[in-house]
């Protein structure tokens, strides 16, 4: 059927409504995975296993550089040009610790072909081998404007990673992985350490591409409602047939297990305003052996949700009660050769390291001995299953997410990328084992009786950034002083030549190579908008009639424009606390559990939109995704939350606000520019005013002020929060939206 390809496996993947076909291109050795279904949002991805040798950031710099012009598309930024006419729904490239991938997605057939062509040519025939300027621009270069000027480093990736290496979260995550896998490629930084990026030579850069960017080391996925035979023929004729199969040594090495827990200390920079007191971060990390059963991985995902991520999660509760930090979270990362489990505490004292370790291990042993909460396990499993089956990935293409999921087995010498999609089997197994002690045995096996662990302490430092900058300045000055007049002139000329290269426009001939959509490539069929508006008991209701696989999407919007101004500064707190406190019939822990058992989640946020002529909307939005059979529960639980939330839980509120405060402070480090823009616009724009007060600097100011004098201010705050409900939850403020089939809507109307 597929000429030039050998079919290795075919399988009906019912849980993702796809037919899966695994092939190998016989001449080049390229691996190909087809996921055929009726999704018009087609996606394509070519990925390569790219284990880094060192901290110079080779995979990351190469990811940037191959996208700077190629054999067929020689313009300097083909993707910028392509975007001018492309109808893509996704267009990007990503560097991981062990792979580099190039995914695209589009609903338009010709656009999809154009995107595939540009990507294939970019990765297999980039201009990097003939244009050193690309390496210098994207990686690093010496910059010297005049012989008398200061010598500096510059480069896109170099500057990007300088920012990443100043973020405490990024530093902790990176050092945690490096600490667990010191003897493998995971022990170095695939993105590049700014201290080491300038050690990378142009020759090593080109060698890395020649070695790893070969079809024999490639993993290609094609997803959606595609003519697979036509695409495979095109791939063969245009690209894969030009290569012979070779042996590419890209195997990822397994880390030898530790005999005992390791420890690592690092520093991250802070300003004098932030200070260093109680600003440390610590992580407790455990590595799993490669090739463990997928069901065990999913069990660890569930366990992470139960003990670290759910409302009132017991391990979080225990650490906070012992004053070990004021923000605790955890994660389980299964998308690498050896999955890793991590527990993180923030805003803590480094001297509490042993207390942190002891408390974590004491709790893990307690869960094995006494058992995990069965209702919490069921809630976590149901929530996990709902999200996977719903396949709502926050706007990302399903094909991209399924590709990344397939890599979690396919990439590691596993010829069955389909096994990860057998959701029904795994969830049935997990549910059947809630009462068997299975989850407790997983904790015992992987998290207790396993010495492959590392604790990382990330301490705040006022001096480290200044010291690094001074050392770098001295190093570059010393190097400059060692150069002759002729060498200095060459550096100045080289800097100027790069700037001229960057500013020179592409030729009309080169621009003409970029494939552009023509009018005849566009569909003139208008997709109908199935909206119906009616009034039910005095409330405007919008029904969006679509097939949603038995899931109803309920949205309740409460207009906030009539909320008295004295309450507006507390909107951020109200938004954070609604659904996180006790109600008449539930504690906050059982509230979340019942929501997760019976729905796909209940979410609250302040929604703003900008209209014309300074018009705006600001609403409190309550979202529930639920099976039609649970619509009644959804209405009942929303009613209970908005009518009976207990806003007088002094200690619980303090805990929630402290976590909000810590999250906001961390977000300012990674996205401070966005928060600053919102703050600036808030002075003359209503939508940004509300955004600032509910998720920006204005919100942080309010939180900090309340927490600073908590005992003095909390009574007034609690009273205001309680009073706000009377102004928000009125019939005249409400608009309701329901997305689902007519069958679901009838059930919705019966319960409304």
Q: What residues are labeled active site? A: 63, 138
User: Cα–Cα distances in Å, from 445 out to 268, 292, 442, 452, 724?
Assistant: 34, 11, 5, 12, 49
CA nearest neighbour of 314 among 322, 455, 661: 322
Torsion from C-alpha of 687, 690, 694, 699, nearest 10 degrees: 120
- Whether 299 contacts 444, CB under 8 Å: no
Residue 56: DSSP 8-state: S
Whole-angstrom distance, CA of residue 344 vs CA of residue 336: 19
Exposure b/e, 31-68, CB count within 10 A at least 16 = b = bbbbbbbebebbbbbbbbbbbbeebbbbbbbbbbbbbb
Contact of 72 with 125, CB cutoff 8 Å: yes
CA 659, CA 453: separation in Å to the nearest integer? 27
| Helices assigned H by DSSP within 18-70 | 58-65
Nearest-10 crossing angle of helices 374-390, 423-432:
170
Angle of CA points 326, 332, 336, to nearest 5° = 135
- Helices (H) and strands (E) counted in the chain, each on its own, are 26, 21
Rounded CA-CA distance 188/177 in Å is 9
With beta carbons less than 8 A apart as the criterion, state whether 168 and 663 touch.
no
Q: List the one residue out of 644, 648, 633 whose CA is nearest residue 597.
A: 633
The answer to whether 632 touches 554, Cβ cutoff 8 Å, is: no
Q: How far apart are CA 739 and CA 625, in angstroms?
A: 10
Nearest C-alpha neighbor of 541 from the set 731, 392, 726, 724? 731
d(CA 62, CA 213): 10
First to last CA, the chain: 53
Helix ranges (DSSP H) in 56-215: 58-65, 78-83, 109-124, 132-138, 156-164, 168-180, 202-212
Q: Which residues pair with 220 in a beta bridge?
A: 32, 46
């Amino acid at each position: 059927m597929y000429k030039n390809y050998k079919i290795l496996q075919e399988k009906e993947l019912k849980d993702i409504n796809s037919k899966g076909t695994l092939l190998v291109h016989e001449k080049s050795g390229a691996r190909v995975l087809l996921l055929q279904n009726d999704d018009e949002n087609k996606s394509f991805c070519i990925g390569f296993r790219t284990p880094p040798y060192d901290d110079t950031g080779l995979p990351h710099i190469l990811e940037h550089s191959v996208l700077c012009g190629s054999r067929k598309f020689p313009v300097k930024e083909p993707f910028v040009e392509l975007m001018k006419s492309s109808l893509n729904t996704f267009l990007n490239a990503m560097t991981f610790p062990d792979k580099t991938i190039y995914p695209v997605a589009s609903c338009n057939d010709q656009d999809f072909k154009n995107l595939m062509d540009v990507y294939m040519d970019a990765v297999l025939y980039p201009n990097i081998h003939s244009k050193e300027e690309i390496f210098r621009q994207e990686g690093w270069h010496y910059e010297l404007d005049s012989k008398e000027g200061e010598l500096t480093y510059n480069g896109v990736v170099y500057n990007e990673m300088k920012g990443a290496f100043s973020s405490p979260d990024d530093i902790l995550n990176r050092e945690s992985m490096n600490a667990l896998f010191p003897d493998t490629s995971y022990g170095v930084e695939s993105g590049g350490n700014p201290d080491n990026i300038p050690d990378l030579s142009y020759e090593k850069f080109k060698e890395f591409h020649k070695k790893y960017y070969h079809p024999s080391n490639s993993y290609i996925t094609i997803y959606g409602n595609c003519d697979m035979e036509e695409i495979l023929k095109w791939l063969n004729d245009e690209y894969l047939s030009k290569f012979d199969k070779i042996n590419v040594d890209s195997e990822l090495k397994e880390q030898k297990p530790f005999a005992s827990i390791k420890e690592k200390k690092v520093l991250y920079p802070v300003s004098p305003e932030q200070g260093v007191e109680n600003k440390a971060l610590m992580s407790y990390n455990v590595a799993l052996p490669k090739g463990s059963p997928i069901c065990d991985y999913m069990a660890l995902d569930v366990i992470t949700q139960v003990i670290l991520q759910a409302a009132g999660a017991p391990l979080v509760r225990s650490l906070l009660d012992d004053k070990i930090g004021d923000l605790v979270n955890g994660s389980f990362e299964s998308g690498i050769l050896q999955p890793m489990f991590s527990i993180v505490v923030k805003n803590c004292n480094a001297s509490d390291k042993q207390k942190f370790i002891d408390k974590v291990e004491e709790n893990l042993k307690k869960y094995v001995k006494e058992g995990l909460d069965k209702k919490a396990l069921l809630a976590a499993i149901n929530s996990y299953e709902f999200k996977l089956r719903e396949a709502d990935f926050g706007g990302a293409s399903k094909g991209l997410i399924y590709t990344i999921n397939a890599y979690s087995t396919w990439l590691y010498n596993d010829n069955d990328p389909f096994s990860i999609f057998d959701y029904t089997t795994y969830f049935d197994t997990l549910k059947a084992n809630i009462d068997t002690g299975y989850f407790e045995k997983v904790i015992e096996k992987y998290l207790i009786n396993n010495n492959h662990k590392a604790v990382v302490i990330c301490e705040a430092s006022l001096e480290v950034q200044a010291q690094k900058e001074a050392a770098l300045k001295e190093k570059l000055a010393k190097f400059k002083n060692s150069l002759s007049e002729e060498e200095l002139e060459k550096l100045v000329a080289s800097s100027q030549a790069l700037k001229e290269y960057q500013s020179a426009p592409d030729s009309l001939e080169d621009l003409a190579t970029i494939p552009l959509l023509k009018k005849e490539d566009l569909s003139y069929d208008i997709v109908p908008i199935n909206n119906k508006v009616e009034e039910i008991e005095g409330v405007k209701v919008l029904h969006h009639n679509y097939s949603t696989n038995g899931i109803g999407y309920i949205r309740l919007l409460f207009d906030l424009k009539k909320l008295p101004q004295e309450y507006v500064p507390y909107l951020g707190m109200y938004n954070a606390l609604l659904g996180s406190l006790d109600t008449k019939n539930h504690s906050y822990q059982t509230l979340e559990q019942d929501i997760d058992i019976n729905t796909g989640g209940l979410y609250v946020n302040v929604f703003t939109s900008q209209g014309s002529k300074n018009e705006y909307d600001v609403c409190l939005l309550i979202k529930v995704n639920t099976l039609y059979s649970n619509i009644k529960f959804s209405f009942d639980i929303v009613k209970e939350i908005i009518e009976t939330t207990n806003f007088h839980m002094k200690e619980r509120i303090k805990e929630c606000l402290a976590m909000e405060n810590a999250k906001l402070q961390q977000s300012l480090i990674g996205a401070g520019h966005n928060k600053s823009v919102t703050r600036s616009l808030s002075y003359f724009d209503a939508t940004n005013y509300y955004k600032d007060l509910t998720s920006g600097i204005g919100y942080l100011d309010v939180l900090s002020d309340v927490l600073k004098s908590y005992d003095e201010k909390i009574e007034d705050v609690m009273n205001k929060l309680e009073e706000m409900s009377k102004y928000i939850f009125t019939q005249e403020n409400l608009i309701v939206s329901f997305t689902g089939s007519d069958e679901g809507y009838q059930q919705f109307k019966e319960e409304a």
